[in-house]
Amino acid sequence: MAAAPAAPAIRDLAQQPTDEETMSLYAPATENAAAIEKAIFEHSLTRSLLQDPKYIASRPHLKIPAQLRGQNLTGGTLLGEGKIEVPPVQFGTKDGSSFVSLQYLGTALCGHPGIVHGGLLATLLDEGMGRCCFPALPNRAAVTASLKVDYKAPAMAGQIFVLRAETTRVEGRKAWVKAWLETLVDEKNGEKPLVVTEAEALFIEPKMAAQMNLVRG
């Protein structure tokens, strides 16, 4: 009886949507979310990534069953109006070498009025670097062993940010990754993105990774 409520969630985990399916699962519930969604998908960066055969597009947070989203920080707790307004759109390579993610950060995520909390930026970088390198590891799973973050400029809330990550080295169960967060701009019109945060991290795959039933959204 105690395990009964968990049964639907376990079943849903076994029947997760594919990367391609996640791209059509989200429907904006507010006008602001719809405007953000339009801005992301109509931007030249997104269009170019969607057309680049080396990248796999997905919205991995939508793989998390609804019953479990309340237990996931970036895939549940921080999603919503005024926060991470729409599920991030992410692009990763099959070999785990490169990763790009677009996400809107709202005013409910600030540490100081109008400025996104630095702890949240570190969280996004940590998660993005992990998603970048997972495919390069034997069992596609790892935990953060070390994380270094440098804050370069205030990240002003209420806009879309681009997270870029690159796996720089892989040795067995270890992967070294670098990443940065920058503003989304129209580079074709001469605008230059502002880098707000840079990071480096070491990820290590647990020895028992092959036996672990890891839930990754």
Task: Give residues with Cβ within 8 angstroms of 19, minimum separation 6.
Answer: 56, 57, 58, 60
In percent, how much of the chain has pLDDT > 70?
90
Q: What is the pLDDT of residue 8?
A: 54
Say if residue 216's pLDDT is above 50: no
- pLDDT digit string, tens, across residues 169-192: 999 999 999 999 999 998 888 899
Catalytic residues: 126
DSSP letter for each residue of the chain: -TTGGGHHHHHHHHTPPPHHHHTTS----SHHHHHHHHHHHHSHHHHHHHH-TTEEEE-GGGGS-GGGGGG-IIIIITBSTTSB-SPPEEEEETTSSEEEEEEEE-GGGEEETTEE-HHHHHHHHHHHHHHHHGGGSTTS--EEEEEEEEE-S--BSSEEEEEEEEEEEEETTEEEEEEEEEE---GGGT--PPEEEEEEEEEE--TTTTT------
Rg (CA), the chain: 17
**In this structure, are residues 205 and 191 in contact, taking their beta carbons and an 8 Å threshold?**
no
Look at 126 and 210; give whichever has higher pLDDT.
126
- In single-letter form, the type of residue at position 134 comes to F
**What is the pLDDT of the chain when averaged over all its residues?**
91
Query: pLDDT-derived band of residue 14, with 50, 70 and 90 as boundaries?
Result: low
Mean predicted confidence (pLDDT) in 137-145: 94
> Side-chain half-sphere of 101: how many Cα atoms within 13 Å?
29
Rounded-to-integer distance, Cα 196 and Cα 183, Å: 8
What is the pTM (predicted TM-score) of this model?
Answer: 0.90
